[in-house]
Chains A and B, each alone.
Chain A
């Protein structure tokens, strides 16, 4: 069975396209008849109470009833449903094709106008029943009024009796739960992938690039426990923090062009590297006050411009997976959240103030004001004088049982152990001792490190009043990260699981709701509990998942019916196909093609190029004040047009060590008159500034075309529009709940086919090991190339093909490598 016979409508999503398609099919009736022949239709008219009422009550009545009336349509009584909606008749007895309701339930889930709009699509047999019911005259027993049926709570299976003793045991328990949860589901469970495929998959996932030949050989030399050994090695690898900073940056929507963005990025990177517990990290983010350099976590608050409403929406959606933000403007359309709940939550941010420096935005900081800015009723519901400050209230339930389950006891023990270890380190470390420790090493008294440390010691009290810490946000942070708050750990586990397995227990990942399906609730609970028990240790979570059989599933073979494929993948019994993240693909090409270092001797690629340069004329032009920077006037491309593949790295260390501390301290010592005078002077200076004049000249020069590429992991984020990373799905990180676009595009293919990076990676540099191998024995060289790019040896058939392609020439080898780098096997995970 193919895709198209199941979904009779060809693949369209826009209405014009749909119309176009349907015009070709002559009429909608035709479509319906095609559909009804493809689906089981019972010969008799369905029974309303038994067959129809449950469908309508579970799927429709929620939004089409007295209290909601979406689209002007009510479906709770016969009279109301026959009145129809704002624009059309919902039901025309005897004529499904004229019944708007039927037309809409027939659409595919991705089509426009499909009903139900939210929640699960109707099953084909349910659609067939509705069809038959309308065809038979839409009989509705007199006086029957429909009421909403709440979705059933997902069924859970038994949790393991005892706590696991190791990550490996936890992974085995996880697989056991998953198996039991799938017991009554009809899925194909695929075999685990080979160990070398596992090496490739986990290296890509955990450190963000493909393995090198050296790593392959090392892995092969290990014994039976090699998978566990590998996971341990990868989670301790220096690139681990870089790779997962990308994950966190997507989640937190970190943008380099927002005040504090780069500092936040560096802070997250450092936190992962130092294995900071996730709950501690989140508490720091939510409660931070101050400036981005002294307290980089404040970048989170600045990211939403310290706006209470925005912060409430993003904080609950990001850290708890609850889209309460929809209740900002109206009661949540698809959930039970009311507007007041949202305002109560927003009030935790209601005293947060962002202070902008007088002269430039380098001195932006947040602090806690005294006035509550969140007022109730909302602006559009009441006059200004009626609106009163809101008292913060946490609208989410936290378990209250007195008995502590084992995972919370384990959490407390883990936390205690950590605290002890930390205080042990610093037992005798007074501030003076710390300063002494710095001094001998740096020697000079004006050393910046020392200076900063001294400044810090002086400012301890100063901080207290300028950057007043936020009591309200501290409270909120405690509530959110409470181990008894079910939402917190599960929301994060769901994201990490999806990143590693391909999709979440809940999709979209940040939409936990009674009205959104939750798959495998017990598996999720178990992982969440183990995550809490580990003291919210991120690496433990990653280790348990990657050590499980669920992580090792292979993909279903071609020819598997699409419905079986979908079901098996959705139930984590088979691996979906995943493409490498843009950053990972970039770094993998760099590694596979040895582009991190020069692969040609100096001068081997000399060539003459003509290009345009801008040279100063030596003249200055006076420019009026206020000439702002406008949209970029320079062409977005470099002269050779390949700028879209460059990666300029941010130095995370230097970002967190700037001099802003001192500036602020000196600012505070000035009188207001002084500040005013300085400001005037600055304004005068700014009013007319001298700008150097440039002219464009065309020059011809000889360049040594021997490029190196660095990692894309630490680039400013997000990359510029149309950059390689963006084309391969890096999000803009503006929209809340924006996920990576994993679709294929023509632009991606063009960048891979004709891009400079793939081209340079393919060429066989004389300094590469492959070059020597090729001279010695092309068979060895072919094996090497396959291993370097695809982490496997070629099949005999592939090898024969490769010999014809390579034909003992470096050019032939470049052709082979180019094809391997462009192949779907390279880009998609094994």
Chain B
């Protein structure tokens, strides 16, 4: 279920795959097993595809020409104001940190999405793993469910980490994955009977051959059946949730996705990515953002308050991210265009210092005015929050040494107490 399962493959046995931790003496690492002070165990990443405007969300510019249609509102944190499209979130901001000085380098959707999700720039001959794949590669699995789940779309690929670190994805929250139960028309009893027949056949074959590959295949089969039979699967079914709760989250696909994300981390899923698009608002941005606010606000605010209520917030890092921001200048069509030079991100929970603001943009949100944050710093921060060594180096199956996080990146220390 995690990346580390089913280790035995022929090529690995032939030592095509090995990994090293350069720069860290192994004996020292082994001696300090409890040095990990990280609090976060899970991540819920809201991926907002298309380039979400920073000015109309986390970084309002009242009184400036670039302000647009929205007014800032006060939040539960003194001196922190956000856009009026997030009234419920405003009440949760004491749990959250805002980063207002991210500076990206890619103004093109594809390249920027790649960079924001992997922490690296695209390169023609290597595929970098997405942040979710990276996390489940580094942290051991908890519980029966797959360690990385993506809702309403695909996250970045697992790249050189391989198929085992790919996301398990849910097309639509609440929709049942057909692969988790026997096919239509096959009752549970008949399905179990079939498994018994299969087990006997496989046992015969293994008794004859007994190669490690067959054993790995059997282990995978056992895990598959365990997952199918796991009570934790109930987490995927939203119909058993109180209808009032579903309403509270907004009862949109996004809201149900947020609710599902909460249910999944409660069952031990390490990383949940909830995907949503529609932020590429070159025209009529204010109408679009008002609608986005109406969808996002109840969902993310309810998620944060529910996680707080059940004690999960301190170990669950909630991240709201997009590939870039949008031009401060409002174009003739009432929209904003791509803007990578300066944008924002919201992070909540996960042991981060709530109520903090990192960096600031200039008066029009054109460029960082204080403490510029590089894109890869976000990945370093996320790793640090989860207790993953930011300097870790892996080797690709092809033997090329690769850092998990770009060398020049550093965690945002101000966010950690």
Q: Measuring CB to CB, which residues of chain A are less than 8 angstroms from any residue of chain B? A: 3, 11-20, 22-23, 28, 71, 85-88, 97-98, 100, 103-104, 107, 109-114, 117-118, 121, 304-305, 307, 310, 313-314, 325-326, 334, 502-503, 507-508, 511, 555-560, 562, 565-566, 570, 576-577, 579, 623-628, 630-633, 635-637, 640-642, 721-722, 726-727, 729, 732, 734-739, 741-751, 753-756, 759, 798, 801, 805, 811, 815-816, 818-820, 822-825, 827-828
Contacts and interface: CB of A to CB of B under 8 A. Distances in A.
11 contacts: A18-B30, A110-B13, A508-B11, A555-B209, A562-B212, A735-B160, A736-B126, A738-B160, A749-B221, A749-B224, A815-B194
Nearest to A72: B23
B413 interface: no
A816 B126 contact: no
B33 A630 contact: no
Interface string B1-15: 101111111111111
B26 A100 contact: yes
Contacts of B175: 635, 637, 641
Interface stretch (B68-76, B200-208, B359-367, B375-383): B200-208
Given A14-B137, A741-B163, A749-B223, A628 B109 contact: yes
Contacts of A727: 163
B410 interface: no
Interface string B278-304: 101011000000000000000000000
B8 to A, nearest CB: 7
B10 A742 contact: yes
A109 B15 contact: yes
A314 B200 CA distance: 47
A194 B230 CA distance: 42
Contacts of B153: 631-633, 635-636
A502 B164 CA distance: 21
B396 A824 contact: no
B21 A631 contact: no
A112 B223 CA distance: 26
Contact of A746 (B22, B24, B220): B220
Given A15-B29, A743-B8, A744-B213, A726 B20 contact: no
Nearest to B15: A109
B213 A14 contact: no
B169 A565 contact: no
Contacts of A635: 152-153, 171-172, 175
Nearest to A732: B127
Interface in B366-417: 389, 392, 394, 396-400
B224 A753 contact: yes
Given A13-B19, A565-B211, A732-B159, 6 more contacts: A13-B7, A557-B209, A735-B160, A744-B6, A750-B180, A824-B214
A112 B211 contact: no
Nearest to A85: B25
B231 interface: no
B333 interface: yes
Contact of A16 (B138, B152, B214): B138
Contact of B28 (A88, A732, A823): A88
Interface stretch (B94-102, B181-189, B261-269, B311-319): B181-189
A121 B15 contact: yes
Interface in B19-55: 19-31, 33, 49-50
A307 B124 contact: yes
Nearest to A644: B179
B11 A88 contact: no
A260 to B, nearest CB: 14
A630 B280 contact: yes
Contacts of A745: 5-6, 163-164, 220
Contacts of A118: 399
Contacts of A754: 178-183, 228
B210 A71 contact: no
B8 A11 contact: yes
A86 B23 contact: yes
B169 A759 contact: no
Contacts of A741: 9, 162-164
Interface in B334-360: 335, 337
A636 B177 CA distance: 12
Interface of B: 1, 3-31, 33, 49-50, 109, 113, 124-127, 137-140, 146, 152-154, 157, 159-160, 162-164, 166-169, 171-172, 175-184, 186, 190, 193-195, 197-198, 200-202, 204-214, 216-221, 223-225, 227-228, 275, 277-278, 280, 282-283, 333, 335, 337, 389, 392, 394, 396-400
A632 B109 CA distance: 12
Nearest to A759: B183
B187 to A, nearest CB: 11
A576 B211 contact: yes
A88 to B, nearest CB: 3
B27 A88 contact: yes
B27 A100 contact: yes
B29 A19 contact: yes
Nearest to A823: B201
Contacts of A798: 204
A508 B125 CA distance: 17
B30 A14 contact: no
A711 to B, nearest CB: 22
A628 B182 CA distance: 40
Nearest to A612: B172
Contact of A734 (B8, B49, B126, B389): B126
A818 B162 CA distance: 29
A824 B206 contact: yes
B200 A801 contact: yes
A640 B214 CA distance: 32
Contacts of A12: 4
B211 A71 contact: no
Contacts of B23: 71, 86-87
Contacts of A3: 212
A735 B125 contact: yes
Contact of A28 (B3, B30, B195, B278): B30
Contacts of A15: 21, 29, 389, 392
A87 B178 contact: no
Contact of A732 (B17, B157, B164, B389): B157
A736 B180 CA distance: 35
Contact of A743 (B16, B176, B216): B216
B180 A566 contact: no
Contacts of B21: 15, 112-113
Nearest to A11: B7
A620 B52 CA distance: 25
A748 B6 CA distance: 12
A23 B32 CA distance: 10
A640 B171 CA distance: 10
Contact of A744 (B138, B167, B206, B220): B220
A828 B154 contact: no
A503 B49 contact: no
B275 A743 contact: no
A9 to B, nearest CB: 12
Contacts of B186: 759
Given A624-B283, A743-B164, A103 B27 contact: yes
A565 B211 CA distance: 9
Contacts of A110: 7, 12-13, 15, 17-18
Contacts of A19: 29-30, 33
B197 A735 contact: no
Contact of B154 (A624, A628, A631): A631
Given A624-B283, A630-B280, A642 B178 contact: yes
A632 B137 CA distance: 26
Nearest to B207: A558
B282 A14 contact: no
B288 to A, nearest CB: 12
Given A71-B23, A109-B15, A636-B153, A310 B140 contact: no
B138 A14 contact: yes
B125 A313 contact: yes
B398 A825 contact: no
